[in-house]
Amino acid sequence: MSHHFLRFEQVRYRYPGGYEALRGISFELTHGEKAALVGMNGAGKSTLLLHTNGLLLPTDGRVVMGGITLTRRTLPIVRQAVGLVFQDPDNQLFMPTVEEDVAFGPANMGLTSGEIEERVAEALRAVGALHLRKCAPYQLSGGQKKSVSIATVLAMQPSVLVMDEPTSNLDPRARRQTIDLIRRFTHTTLIATHDMELAAELCPRMLIMKEGEIVADGLTERLFRDRELLEACGLEQPCRMRTG
Ligand SMILES: Nc1ncnc2c1ncn2[C@@H]1O[C@H](COP(=O)(O)OP(=O)(O)OP(=O)(O)O)[C@@H](O)[C@H]1O
Ligand SMILES: [Mg+2]
C-alpha cells in the first residue's frame, strides 16, 4: 500500500470554545497528486491542514495516512511522513539558529551527524537560504522566516507535503523559488493558499472550502471557469484566465 495517500473521512472538528470549524470533510489525495485548498478567510483551511499530521484530532470521522488511521498512538509514525509548513513561521522556528531549526527534525529521526548536515544544507539551498544558516530565526524578515520554515519540513523528506500559505510574505523572487521547489517535489502535496496564480500554475486539482465544508473538488482549470461558484465562495480567477 502506498504511504503517500491521504484520506479524510467525514471529518468534523469543534474548537474547545464550541465553534465547529470542520463540518464533514471527505476527500482523498493519491500518490503524486498536487491539490490546492482555497476559500475565504475563516473557511477552515488551516484547521483542516492541522488534521493532516495530528496537531488536531477530529471530533468525529477519521484521517487516514497511507493506510494508518491517525490516533494519539500512531502520531509519531504519521508525523515523520507528513511534513506540515505552518501559516505562521513563528510557530515553526524555535531554536537559536536557523541550521539548528532545520536539523531538529532529521536529528529526531536518528540520522547520523553527517546525514543531518547534508539534509540541512540541501534543504536550505532548495529555498535559497543557505547563507542564513548561522542566523537567529528571530532576526530574519518575514519572508526569510517563511523560506526557512519550508526548509525545516523539506529536511524531513516527507512523503506528503502540506503547506499553509507558502507564498505569503515572499518577494517575487522568493515566491518564484518556492513555486519551483513545490513543483520539483514529486510526492503528494496539499497547499492552502490565497494565491490563485499559484493554484492555477501548480495544482491540477483544487478543493474549495466554505464555512467548514468542501463545496467543490475538481480540476483547477474547470473550477476557475465557473464564475458563479467563485463568486459564491469569495474567490477570483487568476489573472491569466481573466478575459474581461
Ligand atoms: N484556536 C481556535 N479557537 C477557536 N476557533 C478557532 C481557532 N482557530 C480558528 N478558529 C475558527 O475556525 C474557523 C476556521 O479558521 P481557520 O484558521 O481554519 O480558517 P482559514 O480558512 O485558514 O482562514 P485564513 O484564510 O484566514 O487563514 C474560523 O471561524 C476561526 O475563527
Ligand atoms: Mg489559515
Beta-carbon contacts of residue 128 (< 8 Å; ≥ 6 apart):
147, 173, 174, 177
Q: Number of structural domains, the chain?
A: 1
Residue 159 inside a domain? The answer is yes
In the predicted model, is pLDDT for residue 124 greater than 50?
yes
- Which is nearest to 58 in space by CA: 7, 5, 3, 1? 7
- The type of residue at 179 is I
Cα 73 to chain centroid distance, Å, stands at: 23
Q: Give me ligand 2 centre to Cα 149, in Å.
A: 16
What integer pLDDT is reported at residue 244 of this predicted model?
56
Domain containing 186 equals: 6-237
Residue 199 inside a domain? The answer is yes
> In degrees rounded to 5, what are phi and psi of residue 21?
-85, -25
Residue 134 inside a domain? The answer is yes
Residue 121 inside a domain? The answer is yes
Q: Give me ligand 1 centre to Cα 109, in Å.
A: 31
CATH number at residue 121: 3.40.50.300
Task: Say whether pTM exceeds 0.85.
Answer: yes
Residue 229 inside a domain? The answer is yes
- The type of residue at 195 is D
Residue 84 inside a domain? The answer is yes
Q: Give me ligand 2 centre to Cα 35, in Å.
A: 16
Q: How confident is the model at residue 1 (pLDDT cuts 50, 70, 90)?
A: very low
Residue 1 inside a domain? The answer is no
Mutate to test the pocket of ligand 1, among 12, 13, 14, 15 (most ligand atoms within 8 A of CB): 15
For residue 63, list its beta bridge partners.
8
Mutate to test the pocket of ligand 1, among 47, 87, 235 (most ligand atoms within 8 A of CB): 47
